[in-house]
């Protein structure tokens, strides 16, 4: 059975301090993880910002990390290392080591648990001469007993030995801690121009994310040949699903999204579907965020862009392989619905999920969207006190078209794709 979430989290609140309180400190956060984890990390960054009254520094792995946190008021600086290159050989290392020493007595939170990456972080801290009493390491393994976002926030509730908890009390509990992402006005303008140039204005966009990190890796052909990717769904099932979605909303545009490495796979799906309403878009991260903010809904395998979509308030269906929905189901800060299908104990591979199950989950999503009547755009709800990038325009008409339809092939009338 599909599972879903639609609980809004607390909106962004600027930290309030007692004038006689301890001085603000800048937290440093280590996490050498993939996109979905780094999106979920934003919940912890918001928590730490509220607790220590200064935005965080992030040290991660992957050149794309800075793009994830662009415009985020909870982040002041991002450093990224290669996942495999020894860090002493990088140009960034000396600057990072100096910054770590100068940040004393600021707390250092280590979210990493991977058996290869955690020793690298420990060496970085040792080579920088960091007092171990400033550091807190995550104890919970993924999938242990809590959702991944809750694991991260639980880490933030702990206090380094070098500090007094009374000086930096834990913020009041939120109904649900959830990730948040930000889209800039300039990116909205670029998105609208991109949509207009392709003649897509006035059409609702249904995003489809068939790929995951394996389908864009250098070993993707090996994964495909050995059939060892538990998140892969056969092309013929994508074809059948997209025909059903098109029949339900024939005026919508179905956008197959992926990285440049995944474009050949997306082209094969599009050609097999054979519908004018199905298109391919190789979008970078910031482009993806802007399009997700204005899209109608998404259908995705369990992957990083699904977490990004939820963090931007996009209603979506997520298909699971070996991972559990209980620990990895994306969360939305706005209460937009997220419906999961598959995963243990029902299945351990996405290719075990029938087409009808996914389509019915998407129809359930439509019904939930009709009930909730959608949300404010994620940026205004999640960043109420930051007006440096005021919202220009209203994406809500795009989502109103997501209302549950009375019958297949019938669409809502009078809806406009106001923001691309």
Consecutive 10-residue runs of the chain (420 residues): their mean pLDDT? 57 54 95 96 98 98 94 97 90 94 97 93 96 93 78 96 97 89 97 96 96 56 59 94 98 93 91 97 93 97 96 97 94 95 94 97 95 54 35 38 29 26
Cβ(300)–Cβ(350) under 8 Å?
no
Cα(105)–Cα(18) distance, integer angstroms: 20
Q: How far is CA 132 from the centre of its chain?
A: 31
pTM, two decimal places: 0.84
Ordered by where they begin, the domains of the chain are 23-156 (3.40.50.2000), 185-400 (3.40.50.2000)
The pLDDT value recorded for residue 20 is 60
Cβ(278)–Cβ(254) under 8 Å?
yes
Cα(359)–Cα(219) distance, integer angstroms: 30
Identify the burial level of 407 via C-beta atoms within 10 angstroms of its C-beta, where 0-12 means exposed, 13-18 middle and 19 or more buried: exposed
The pLDDT value recorded for residue 137 is 97
Reduced to 3 states (helix: H, G, I; strand: E, B; else coil), residue 84 is: coil
- Tell me the two tokens of residue 386: 């930051």
- Beta strand 3-5 pairing with 338-342: antiparallel
The pLDDT value recorded for residue 157 is 96
What are the angstrom distances between the C-alpha of 369 and each of 229, 339, 404, 415?
32, 11, 8, 15
Q: pLDDT tens digits, residue range 164-216? A: 999 999 999 888 899 999 999 999 999 999 999 999 999 999 999 998 655 55
What one-character-per-residue DSSP string does 145-165 give?
A: SS-HHHHHHHHHTS--TTS-T
The pLDDT value recorded for residue 17 is 54
Identify the burial level of 354 via C-beta atoms within 10 angstroms of its C-beta, where 0-12 means exposed, 13-18 middle and 19 or more buried: middle
For the chain, how far is it from start to end, CA to CA, in angstroms? 33
Relative orientation angle of helices 263-273 and 235-248, to the nearest 10 degrees: 60
The pLDDT value recorded for residue 3 is 63
Nearest to 238 by CA among 351, 74, 150: 351
- DSSP, res 260: G
Cα(26)–Cα(49) distance, integer angstroms: 8
Q: pLDDT tens digits, residue range 224-245? A: 555 567 888 999 999 999 999 9
What one-character-per-residue DSSP string does 280-319 give?
A: EEE--HHHHHHHHHH-SEEEEESSHHHHHHHHTT--EEEE
Q: Edge-to-edge strands of the sheet including 3-5?
A: 3-5, 338-342, 316-320, 297-301, 205-209, 253-258, 278-282
Cβ(32)–Cβ(178) under 8 Å?
no
Q: Which residue has the tokens 């009547």?
A: 373
């Amino acid at each position: 059975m599909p599972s879903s979430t639609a609980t809004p989290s607390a909106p962004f609140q600027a930290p309030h301090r007692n004038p006689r309180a301890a001085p603000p400190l800048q937290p440093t956060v280590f996490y050498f993880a993939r996109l979905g984890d780094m999106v979920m990390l934003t919940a912890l960054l918001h928590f730490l910002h509220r607790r220590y009254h200064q935005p965080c520094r992030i040290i991660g792995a992957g050149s794309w990390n800075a793009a994830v946190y662009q415009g985020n008021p909870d982040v002041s600086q991002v450093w990224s290392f290669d996942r495999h290159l020894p860090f002493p050989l990088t140009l960034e290392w000396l600057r990072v080591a100096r910054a770590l020493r100068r940040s004393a007595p600021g707390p250092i939170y280590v979210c990493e648990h991977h058996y290869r990456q955690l020793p690298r972080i420990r060496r970085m801290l040792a080579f920088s001469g960091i007092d171990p009493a400033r550091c807190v390491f995550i104890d919970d393994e993924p999938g242990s007993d809590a959702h991944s976002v809750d694991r991260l926030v639980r880490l933030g509730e702990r206090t380094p030995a070098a500090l007094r908890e009374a000086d930096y009390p834990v913020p009041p509990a939120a109904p649900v801690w959830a990730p948040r992402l930000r889209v800039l006005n300039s990116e909205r303008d670029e998105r609208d121009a991109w949509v207009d140039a392709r003649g897509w204005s006035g059409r609702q966009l249904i995003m489809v994310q068939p790929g995951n990190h394996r389908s864009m890796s250098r070993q993707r052909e090996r994964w495909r040949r050995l059939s060892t990717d538990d998140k892969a769904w056969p092309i013929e099932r994508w074809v059948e699903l997209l025909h059903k979605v098109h029949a339900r909303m024939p005026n919508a545009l179905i956008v197959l999204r992926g990285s440049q490495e995944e474009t050949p796979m997306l082209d094969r799906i599009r050609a097999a579907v054979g519908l004018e309403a199905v298109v391919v878009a190789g979008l970078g991260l910031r482009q993806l965020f802007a399009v997700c903010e204005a899209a109608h809904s998404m259908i995705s395998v369990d992957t990083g862009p699904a977490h990004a979509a939820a963090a931007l308030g996009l209603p979506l269906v997520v298909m699971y392989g070996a991972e559990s929905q209980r620990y990895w189901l994306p969360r939305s800060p706005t209460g937009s619905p997220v419906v999961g299908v598959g995963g243990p104990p029902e299945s351990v591979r996405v290719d075990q999920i029938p087409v009808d199950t996914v389509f019915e989950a998407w129809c359930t999503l439509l019904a939930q969207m009709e009930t909730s009547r959608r949300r404010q755009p994620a940026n205004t709800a999640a960043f109420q006190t930051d007006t440096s990038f005021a919202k220009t325009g209203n994406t809500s008409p795009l989502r109103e078209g997501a209302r549950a339809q009375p019958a297949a092939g019938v669409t809502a009338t009078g809806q406009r794709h106001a923001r691309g």
